[in-house]
Structure 1
Amino acid sequence: MTEFIPVGTRYVDLPSPFAMKRGGELRNAHVAYETWGELNAARDNAILIVTGLSPDAHAAANAANPEAGWWEPMLGPGKPIDSNRWYVICVNSLGSCKGSTGPATIDPATGDTYRLAFPELAVEDGAHAAAHVVRALGVERLACVIGNSMGGMTALALLHLHPGIARAHINISGATRALPFSIAIRSLQREAIRLDPEWNHGNYTDAHYPESGMRMARKLGVVTYRSALEWDGRFGRVRLESDRPEEEPFGLEFQVESYLEGHARRFVRRYDPNCYLYLSRSMDWFDLGEYAGGDVMAALARIRVEKALAIGVHTDILFPLQQQEEIATGLRAGGADAEFLPLESPQGHDAFLVDIDRFGPAVRGFLDRL
């Protein structure tokens, strides 16, 4: 059980006890965060970024850590999220293994790692934790909250549960609730981990680690993060140069298989399996409609922001385009100047991480209009 915390990450202590949505509580818990830019005298230039399942708080290089971050092309001086103008806060999700309290953290009550003793985790718990970070940093009202993927869910929960916390919202490849296809994929990912004998009901060690389960879970994820169009254009049916070893008659044969294997091996020891299980399940449980008798559109209409932008891509099979259109329509019904922007990127759900030529101008243009 290992936490993977970037250099320069800072922390905000959560109220103790910190009540969880589905029962239970955390004591002496904390949330990891990083910042860029300066908060102005009026304290009205703050932007919050809430992330997908796996990223840490290090979205881009900063004074505390010059290493490139996971959203490096988007955030920094002169970039689409311009730190010369904005004070940007990025939080690591509650329940993660990248600095915030989660299943890989030591439980102060026992002195042992939480593992499966960690309380059931909901997206709303991450939203409440992020709100506490914002206020601990002296910000009463954000200029904008930006949520990517799972972070799009967290952002909607934040805006609903903390009315008035932000003037504007950018939802990127997010959703009000998980669709059956997404639930099915994540269910298979969790099953791959749980059925690995080394998982041992969450009681694994570095020496006995569910590597096979994590590899399969990651491969399933990567396949859905991109599109069939990109897989075809990038790899086609190109085979590996070397012949298959005789002892592995069904081993890797195509370049796409080798790519998935390499990607998975780089991930498996850099993310805690129990944290993966908890955060994955939290997405399946989330349903904004529960705050309006099951009516998602009514729940969206109760969110009060001045301006909003919902961005998605045509090739996203995990968070399909109709989910971002639904967000824009619902926020507009609540009085927001809300725009829906479908992009033609071939790169699927991960497009916001790599297709900066499309996403960068969209985000910059929206923020310039605030």
Structure 2
Amino acid sequence: MPLLLTEEQSMLRDSARGLISDKAPVAHLRHLRDSRDETGFSRELWATFAEMGFAGLLVPEEHGGSGLNAVEAGVVMEEIGRTLMPSPFLSTAVLAASALTRAGSAAQKAEYLPKIADGSLLAALALDEGAKHRPLHTTMQAVRSGNGFRLTGAKAMVVDGHVADLLIVAARSAGSPGERDGLTLFLVDPKAKGVAIERTVMVDAHNAARITFDHVEVDADHVLGEIDGASAILDGVLGLGRGAVASEMVGLSEEVFGRTVAYLKERKQFGKLIGEFQALQHRAAQLYIEIEITRAAVLKALQTLDSDPADAAALVAVAKARAGATATRAVQEGVQMHGGMGMTDQFDIGFFMKRARVCEELFGDSNYHADQLACLRGY
């Protein structure tokens, strides 16, 4: 398959770019940060997102969505990365919509998916528990109680968890931490008795939450998928999520590159434009090459998620690891080539550096995915 967008995907990209660049430039994020906005994103803009069909991008058509796939989600995420737009697109429209579509019962799909598509429901995946992404090391307990389960434990780095109307929670219903079998997903009302949510504003001015579950009762109707069988569901959901975050980092990297090249063409040193210095030209050229190779790797991973998801794990690992390394290089080069100005808060380049660092950790950093790839290759 050619590593190019189709005409329809290009139209989607242009539509998303027009809306996001107009309504959510980096100044939008800066305003939300400086005003200490309680939500951390614009609900009005999210409503516009839903009206344009972006919230229901992955929701099947029978439930009010567009029924599109991973490549299209990546297209929108790349545009989000260009302006660092804070929105619940990743948590709700990608992760939650995918989980419910893959594993939800008919009743669960009918109840939640139309609300995701119209923008009226926000959802969050509560998975990680520590400083690093280790989904199989889940220790949160799900103990059978009456007609359901009792959940006890804590989750960290729950993206958009502070505004979620629905939590998709991974807990261990059998086995020991580190074992693949024994994980179960639960649909939990964040207002349920025993749920405590603490908003954490991350270094990149985006939002996450710490959530504790103190003997939270969940009935059997709120189990998502098979009991003890969540690992297979998470493989697909996280594969899509990692591809989406990798796409965001491609957009972030390209925007930083464009801003840096523009600066090289206007800043003068010793009576010359600094872009005329060969050393800087070489560094800029190398960064451009890195971004284009990473773009190809990410698009290939997304295409494979759509065409042959069973064989996509290795490509997704490569894409996420490479996107993290490329974004890190892009922001470091960007800050350095901007000189002292690049280190100031009044200059936007620092926002990109902070977001790149968070995206690198989200759903596994480069080391995590290098290890995943080695395991898949039998090492």
TM-score, normalization: structure 2?
0.30
